Amino acid sequence: MTQTETLELLVATLQQANSSQSESIERLTRQNEQLQNKLQELLAQVAWLNRQLFGRKSEKLAHLDPNQLSLFDPPVQPLEHEIPEEAAAQEPVCSTTPKKKVRQNRNMLDGLPVVEIVIEPEGVDPDKYKRIGEERTRTLEFEPGKLYVKEIIRPKYGLKDNISLPQGHQGSVIIAPLPLLPIYKGLPGASLLTEILLQKYEYHVPFYRQVREFHHLGLKISENTLQGWFKPACELLKPLYEELKKQVLKADYIQVDETTLPVINKQNHKAVKEYLWIVRAVMDGLVFFHYDDGSRSQETAWKLLQTFKGYLQSDGYAAYNIFDG
């Protein structure tokens, strides 16, 4: 072997070694980035768990009668009014061309992990249909210490060329039906709505504190958005409330009382005294609450108890005189 051949062989060997080292460095760099992302996720989970373990007592209502349930938070005001980042970043621009409104929830989900679920339609004949596209639907879901995006992918199939419409109920385009969503065309999934309601009514965490917790988990959300999700979530529970009310009023013996509670008047920014009705089926141990714009009138008592037949125990309030004794 000549000296030139030896040098060429040495150069080729060094180039191969250099290429191998470059691949190793690139692989280690990717692994390091993955570990850093995992570390940030675990740190967010630890922070959330610490708040669950050590941050609850200070957020519960104080001086409550242990026999009296509460449906409302105390009039706690946030330290400062939170402004969505999208609104703060906007600058006035003069233009005569109407602009398409950009949905803010597109940026809200940046950085959250995505779990894809593919739903194939049933009975697709691959000899007659071909895939022509897909529909994607995103929902925001919650697990303890973690938020993630569930992306539902529904492949769309169309008839192949020169094939007539087959017999049966299948059309020229086939796609699986979209699973029912808690809120029509809404972003939050059932697990997230459950967590919001649980935090508010079980742990007495007001919305602005929940927003801060979600920020720690990587969700860019405003208090107004959270309130917008909360109202339709409560509507979903209305059938359960009506069934509970029905079961209580079927009892032979009930106790009824109306109690005061402070309610914030959003126009005057003051707490006003209103009334909450409590109806209890004594023998069954069932209770439901009734709120009629804060009223304790005789009309409210009649609307509430007109279908009841049995023994009614109450105080001497005159509104109950409408019922036969």
Q: In terms of domains, do 35 and 116 share one? A: yes
Residue 22 is assigned to a structural domain of this protein: no
Question: What residues contact residue 315 under an 8 Å CB cut-off, 6+ apart?
Answer: 257
Regions of the chain short of the pLDDT cut 50: 56-89, 102
CB 281 within 8 A of CB 252: no
- pTM (2 d.p.): 0.62
Q: Answer yes or no: is 304 within a domain.
A: yes
Beta carbons within 8 Å of 295's beta carbon, 6+ residues apart: 274, 275
If asked whether residues 150 and 209 sit together in one domain, one would say yes
Into how many domains does the chain fold? 2
Tell me which H or E stretch contains 164: none
Same-domain pairing of 224 and 252: no
Show which of 236, 252, 283 is a domain's final residue.
236
Same domain, 173 and 281: no
Q: Are residues 228 and 259 in the same domain?
A: no
Among residues 159, 98, 82, 96, the alpha carbon closest in space to that of 125 is found at 159
Pair 150, 276 in one domain: no
- Say if 283 falls within a structural domain: yes
Residue 99 in domain = no
Q: What is the pLDDT of residue 176?
A: 95
Q: Are residues 283 and 147 in the same domain?
A: no
Same domain flag for 216 and 290: no
Residue with tokens 């679920």: 117
Q: What is the pLDDT of residue 51?
A: 65
pLDDT tens digits, residue range 16-29? Answer: 888 888 888 988 88
Same domain, 157 and 297: no
Same domain, 211 and 122: yes
The answer on 259 and 110 residing in a single domain is: no
Asked if the structure places residue 261 within a domain, the reply is: yes
The domain in which residue 277 lies consists of: 243-322
Joined together, the tokens standing for residue 298 give 């005789």
Euclidean distance between CA atoms 148 and 151, whole angstroms: 10
Whether residue 158 is found in the same domain as residue 293: no
Q: Does a structural domain hold residue 9?
A: no
Q: Look at residue 184 and tell me if it is in a domain.
A: yes
Q: What is the pLDDT of residue 88?
A: 45
The CATH number of whichever domain residue 296 belongs to comes to 3.30.720
Q: Which of 194, 220, 236 is the last residue of a domain?
A: 236
**Is 227 a domain residue?**
yes
The helix or strand, by DSSP H or E, that contains position 253, with its residue range, turns out to be strand 253-265
Last residue of a domain, one of 191, 217, 236: 236
